[in-house]
Structure 1
Amino acid sequence: MRLIAVTPDLHEQHSGLLKEMHCLRANVFGSRLGWEVTTTDDGERDEYDDLRPTYILATKSGRVCGSARLLPATGPTMLQDTFPQLLERGGLKAHDRMIESSRFCVDTSLEGGRGGGHLHLVTLSMFAGIIEWSMANGYNEIVTATDLRFERILKRAGWPMTRLGDPAAIGNTLAVAGSLPADAASFERVRPAGYRSSFSGNDAASARSAA
């Protein structure tokens, strides 16, 4: 498995992978979780995909098996502009070193084993990739809107979320907003054996021995 970052300048070059990503999102959010999202034959997408985000993708044998979307928290963001009810007093105290992660999804049907806390290796690899890319690009805080189930997964991974407000019902989901540190200690806790990324500058240096 390998993690890649598709920055705005690489969207066209990796259009095939991005199409796979949108289809994965449709399967996870629309079909599996039953969220109120817009899906077409081209997959799931929303207005925040038009803001030239960076996508973190987990790939295995050339297939996308995990993805997340990153946008600077200074806006526009899903958390501030779509789900402000999740924020205390309805506002996000954004700063230049804060980034928003949204549309996190993993294809857990793929064989890939389980890592720490019995979490899927794709999930742990995605966590590590988001942290690594964020640190490498000057961010030290990640904010997100998620559900209570995923909040528990983050805690099990050793990357607990600090809530930014009280949980609230959104569609069929009890959602919550939170902040996560992007630091070396968090990266080391979540990084699974054999982790590899293409954006560390040296795949070999970022790979951990499975021994």
Structure 2
Amino acid sequence: MVHVIDRDNKHLYGDELEQHYRLRHRIYVDERRWEQLRRPDGREVDQFDTEEAVYLLDLDHGRVIGGTRLVPTLKPHLMADVFPFLANVEGIQRGADIVEWTRIFVVPDRRGPGSKTLHTVLAAMLEYCLRQDYRAITVVMETWWLPRFLELGWEVRPLGLPADIDGMNCVGTMISVTEEAWRRTLAFKGIQSPVIEVPKAPIVPTRRRLYA
């Protein structure tokens, strides 16, 4: 199950958050060679890991096997503060109902066609956003993600032209948060809903209702 970790319950997840910072370093620095993120303590933490950040961590008996991060677009965030040129057509999208998505990862032994971990994290992100009444997600991503998201039936809109960033072809996009996208993401790997662990990480209900 995926746990939602925010400023209100992070004191319950000290070990899991530490695992997640170290996994980010292993995956983004050691594996992907994003050397500008290397730190001597082996923890990948940046300026957007603030009290406003929400972490969605997939836990298997206390072991972090996947996760991602959401940041309010009304606060400093990656696209607005580091890569604004990736929104050079539509402009930076901000709003109380828009959240930025960054730092998705899956541990190596939970990858591959037979694994459900990636899609569980993706479904959890949409589930959380639906419950919070977010209408859209913005994300800086490599362009090879686009066909994968379109395959899931997601509505993805580029905010600007692709650009090379340290040898990666990247694009700024906005993704619509819809119940249809959530359902299709679940169905793609036959995942049962809900995927968010509610008891330890309560979510404030909104007017939306999700039906399993």
Please state which band the TM-score falls in when normalised by the shorter chain.
Answer: 0.7 to 0.9
3-state SS in 1 of match to 2:197: coil
3-state SS in 1 of match to 2:67: strand
Partner residue in 2 for 1:54: 54
Candidates 190, 193, 197, aligned match of 2:191: 193
Q: Does residue 161 of structure 1 match 2:175?
A: no
- Contact 1:4 1:56 survives alignment (8 Å): yes
Q: Return 20-29 or 150-159, whichever deviates more.
A: 150-159
3-state SS in 2 of match to 1:48: coil
- Contact 1:141 1:181 survives alignment (8 Å): yes
Q: Does residue 71 of structure 1 match 2:64?
A: no
TM-score (norm 2): 0.84
Distance of 2:160 and 2:16 partners within structure 1: 35
Candidates 168, 171, 178, aligned match of 1:176: 171
3-state SS in 1 of match to 2:48: helix
3-state SS in 2 of match to 1:189: helix
Number of residue pairs aligned between Structure 1 and Structure 2: 199
Letter in 1 for 2:45: R
Partner residue in 2 for 1:32: 31
Q: 1:170 Cα deviation (Å)?
A: 1.1
- Contact 1:19 1:42 survives alignment (8 Å): no
Q: 1:156 Cα deviation (Å)?
A: 2.8
Letter in 2 for 1:78: L
Candidates 123, 135, 146, aligned match of 2:141: 146
% same residue: 21
Q: Deviations over 1:89-130 (max 9, x none)?
A: 58313121100011111124237863xxxxx41111111100
Q: 1:162 Cα deviation (Å)?
A: 1.4
Q: Deviations over 1:146-184 (max 9, x none)?
A: 111222322233325211111111112111111111111
Q: Deviations over 1:47-89 (max 9, x none)?
A: 1003431101111232111111111111211111111111125
- CA-based RMSD: 2.4
Letter in 1 for 2:170: A
- Contact 1:7 1:54 survives alignment (8 Å): yes
- Contact 1:142 1:180 survives alignment (8 Å): yes
- Contact 2:6 2:51 survives alignment (8 Å): no
Q: Return 56-65 or 83-92, whichever deviates more.
A: 83-92
Letter in 1 for 2:73: A
Q: Deviations over 1:3-30 (max 9, x none)?
A: 1100111222201101111111112111
- Contact 2:93 2:138 survives alignment (8 Å): no
Distance of 2:90 and 2:113 partners within structure 1: 40
Rate the CA distance shift 1:158–1:27 in 2: closer, same or farther, 3 A.
farther
Rate the CA distance shift 1:33–1:152 in 2: closer, same or farther, 3 A.
farther
Distance of 1:90 and 1:111 partners within structure 2: 34
- Contact 1:84 1:90 survives alignment (8 Å): no
Q: 1:207 Cα deviation (Å)?
A: 10
Rate the CA distance shift 1:71–1:53 in 2: closer, same or farther, 3 A.
same
Letter in 1 for 2:172: A
Letter in 1 for 2:16: L
Letter in 1 for 2:191: A
Distance of 2:53 and 2:160 partners within structure 1: 25
Candidates 129, 132, 145, aligned match of 2:127: 132
